[in-house]
Structures are given as structure tokens and as C-alpha cells.
Amino acid sequence: MSKEKKHLVIIGGGFAGLNLLRKIDKSKYRVTVIDRNNFHSFPPLFYQVASAGIDPAGISYPLRREVHHYMKDGVRFNLGTVKSIDTENQRIVTDNEVIDYDLAVIAAGTTNNFFGIENLQHLVYTLKSTGEALTLRNEVLRRLEMASIEPDDNKRREMLRFVVVGGGPTGVEIAGAIGEMKRYIIDREYPRIDKKEISITLIEGSDRLLGTMNQKSSELALKYLNNLMVDVEFGKIMKSYDGTTIECGDGSQFTSSLVIWTAGVTTVSFDFDGQQPEYGRGRRIVVDSFNRVKGINNVFALGDISIMTADPQFNEGHPQLAQVAIQQAKNLAKNLNKEKFESSFKYNDKGTMATVGRNRAVVDLKHVCFGGFWAWMTWMFIHLISILGARNRLTVLINWIWSYFTYGSSLRMLFEASKMPDNTPQNKQ
């Protein structure tokens, strides 16, 4: 690698990290991408993995395959979880190595926010990674299998009681997906289960679903969920959960041993040695209009992990959406390629959308809001073209078409991880 090039280290192989990698001038920078996984995943479709709608490989793309296109330019990928960033000596410490940098870009995204509720992270199912989606899929399928042979009515109903916490897009989508299984799949594949015994409840702390979207979209989403036999409870803020009973702030209770938490996110955090960043709402790293981290030299932050208040239209920070991350990455690459900061970031809001099952979706664009079949088709098209890899797009499209016409899926199978030998490095740690 040429010593004349500046070493740019990108922490995170998500939308922001990969778009920066593609746009950066490789003749001026040698690039190292660090990620805890060796693949890029597509978070908007985690809920479909969890409901056995699509294969996890269909929404995943090997980071080494992406990096391979630029290897001749000195680009490389290093597997690792970042532990700390030494801003004085300009070093990044992972669980595997120490990497020196000239410029560092933090694009690690978000993780689950449990709002300080004691032990909640150990008791609920979450949807922030492919692994979490697979864990939830296995548990839902396991309960359906066990319920189909359980002779005790009360035990069977307890197995089939699902609660989703959070009425944002992820909560609405996973509740709708389980509702579709209840409405269309149970009679076909689990004839010994009476679908009336399946209870699906969505708990939302505010007075409507999809709080960041248009009121019409919220009303349509509620209508669609009701059609899928999902009960929606508003004004319910969870205060505690003991693995069986949910206690809400208004004194109400809900009983379930399978709770899916989608109620909040927080940024992935690192330790900083030396100069310290400023933090804003949601513990997001404060950046200026060029995505430079305030208070630290030669460090930038992109996407969900950053908060920029310089944009007058978004003075409380931009929404934590893929489009923000992509546009920020392209703008930062433009400035770094010029080696001077001239273009401040301006977000071009292209709209938001959510789906609640087949033929049911809502779309908010700048000047129009609509729902139903055409919204669902729009949702599918946008998500399909956003998936990395032509093979993945084709695989997901085939799955969608097959499921639409047959209501069937070859993915409702339980795959349990086998025991690893005791002498493997993971077991020795």
C-alpha cells in the first residue's frame, strides 16, 4: 500500500459505510472497512426473516465480495468489533487488533434501547440483526409445533400469546406478519391449532401508530392490523416485565412469554481515549453540517449514529433512515475527494413507507399519501432495488411471488445451532 495515501478507516459496513467506500477517491485514500459481521444486511426486511417469509441469505451480501472490486486500490476488510477509539494517537482498537488511521468514519448504526428497564434485554426478542431475526423465527415456529401437540387448552393458549411492543414501522410490520400467519397459514399447515387461540397484541405508548408518518397512514395501518386479527393497545408504556407479565404505566397488565421489543433504538457506543465527542438526543454523536464530529479532529460520523442540527428543516436531527445515511456518505465522499469542505449536507426527503402484509402498505411522499395494493407494490419495488446483489434480488422476488400465489413457504423450518467442540477459540475465551 502506498504510504502517500491517507488511511481512511470506516467503522461499519451498512448503507453509509458501503456508499462512502464506493464514492471515495481510491487514488487519494487507502481504505479499511471494519465490521463485526463479514456481511452487509438489509434491516428493513428483518421482520420477513423472523416470520419465515424470506431466507436470511437473500438480504445479506458478503463484505469481502464488495471490497474485492477495490482490492487493487488498497481497500481491505477486517473483521472485528471496535472497542475504543484513541483520538490522540489516532488508533482504533478492536477485539482482534489495533489499526492506525489518518481519518476515521463512524458508521456503526444503532442497537436496541431498553430505556433502563431492568433485565429487559434478557427477556424479550428483538429485531436489530439477522441473528436476532433467526432466533425469533425459530421460537415462533417452535411454539406452533409444540402447540399443535399440546393437549392442555390453557398451556396451548399461553404458547400462542404474542405481544409486540412499539408501534413504529418495525413493530407494525412484524405484528402484521404474525397476523398473516394466523389468518392464512394456521389452517393450512397447523390444522390441530384453532387460530382463535392465537393472540397477537401490539402495545404502543402514544395515541397512534407510525408516529413519524401522516395521520392517514396511521389510520390505515390500524385498519390493516385489525383485519389481520391483531389487537392494538394505545397509551401503554411498559414499565417492567418479568418474563411473564408486562406492567404498564397506567396499571394495565399483559401476559405473554414471547414479547417482541421494537420500541426504541440507541447508538452503538465506543470508548474514546483523548478527545471526547458531544452527544445529542438518543446518545447520537453530534456532527457539523459536513458530518465532522464536534470536539474531535479527523473523525466523522454518518447515518443513524450521528445527529446534525444545522439543517433548519431538521433542527432535532434527521430521521434514522437508510436514505439519510446514503446521502450523507455521498456528500462526505464528495468533500473528502476535493480535500476541502465546501458542500454542507442537505437531506432530500424521498418519503417513508411501511407494510402490513400482502396488498396492505402505506406510503408517505412529499405531496401525497396513499395505502393499499399500489402502496404495497411501491414498497416492494423500492425494497427490492435496495437489496445488494442481483442474485439476492431475484431470490427475494421469487419468494415473494411464490408466497403471494400459494400462501406457502419452504422456509418454515427449524434450524438449531449444533454444539461446537470445546477446543474452538470461541469456547476457550
Give the pLDDT of residue 423: 67
Is residue 1 very low, low, confident or very high in pLDDT (cuts 50, 70, 90)? Answer: very low
Amino acid in the structure at residue 81: T
pLDDT surpasses 80 at 418: no
List CB contacts of 165: < 8 A, sequence separation 6 or more: 124, 171, 202, 203, 238, 246, 259, 260, 261, 262, 263
Task: Find the mean pLDDT for residues 385-402.
Answer: 89
List CB contacts of 386: < 8 A, sequence separation 6 or more: 42, 44, 322
Is residue 427 very low, low, confident or very high in pLDDT (cuts 50, 70, 90)? Answer: low
Give the pLDDT of residue 148: 95
pLDDT surpasses 90 at 80: yes
Is residue 298 very low, low, confident or very high in pLDDT (cuts 50, 70, 90)? Answer: very high
Give the pLDDT of residue 132: 94
Look at residues 249, 96, 247, 258 and name the one whose alpha carbon lies nearest to residue 175.
Answer: 258
Task: Find the mean pLDDT for residues 307-321.
Answer: 87
The predicted-structure confidence for 140-179, as pLDDT tens digits, reads as follows 999 999 999 999 999 999 999 999 999 999 999 999 999 9
Task: Find the mean pLDDT for residues 70-87.
Answer: 94
Looking at the chain, the whole-number percentage of residues with pLDDT higher than 90 is 79
pTM: 0.91
Q: DSSP readout, 14-74?
A: SHHHHHHHHHS-TTTEEEEEEESSSEEE-GGGHHHHHTTSS-GGGGEEEHHHHHHTTGGGT
Partners of 355 in the beta sheet? 361
Give the pLDDT of residue 271: 94
Give the pLDDT of residue 426: 60
Give the pLDDT of residue 316: 86
Give the pLDDT of residue 3: 58
Give the pLDDT of residue 391: 87
Is residue 89 very low, low, confident or very high in pLDDT (cuts 50, 70, 90)? Answer: very high
Q: Could you count the other beta carbons within 10 Å of the beta carbon of residue 305?
A: 27
**Out of 76-80, 215-219, 265-269, which region has the weakest mean confidence (pLDDT)?**
265-269
Q: 286 by DSSP, 3-state: which? A: strand
Is residue 402 very low, low, confident or very high in pLDDT (cuts 50, 70, 90)? Answer: confident
DSSP category for residue 191: T
The sign of the CA dihedral 388, 399, 414, 255 is: positive
Task: Find the mean pLDDT for residues 200-208.
Answer: 96
Q: DSSP readout, 79-141?
A: E--EEEEETTTTEEEESS-EEE-SEEEE---EEE--TT-TTGGGTSEE-SSHHHHHHHHHHHH
The predicted-structure confidence for 331-376, as pLDDT tens digits, reads as follows 999 999 999 999 999 999 888 999 998 899 999 988 889 999 999 9
Could you tell me which residue, 419 or 18, shows the higher pLDDT? 18
pLDDT surpasses 70 at 199: yes
DSSP category for residue 297: T
pLDDT surpasses 90 at 407: no
Which alpha helices (DSSP H) does 228-351 contain, by range? 322-338
Look at residues 7, 9, 13, 8 and name the one whose alpha carbon lies nearest to residue 108.
Answer: 13
Half-sphere exposure of 220 (CA within 13 A, CB side): 24
Domains and CATH numbers, the chain: 6-36+80-112+265-338 (3.50.50.60), 120-263+351-406 (3.50.50.100)
d(CA 143, CA 280): 41
The predicted-structure confidence for 19-71, as pLDDT tens digits, reads as follows 999 999 999 999 999 999 999 999 999 999 999 989 899 999 999 999 998 98
Half-sphere exposure of 110 (CA within 13 A, CB side): 25
pLDDT surpasses 80 at 258: yes
d(CA 236, CA 9): 43
Task: List Cα–Cα distances, 52 to 134, 142, 170, 178, in angstroms.
Answer: 9, 12, 15, 10
Q: Could you count the other beta carbons within 10 Å of the beta carbon of residue 164?
A: 30
Look at residues 42, 76, 82 and name the one whose alpha carbon lies nearest to residue 58.
Answer: 42
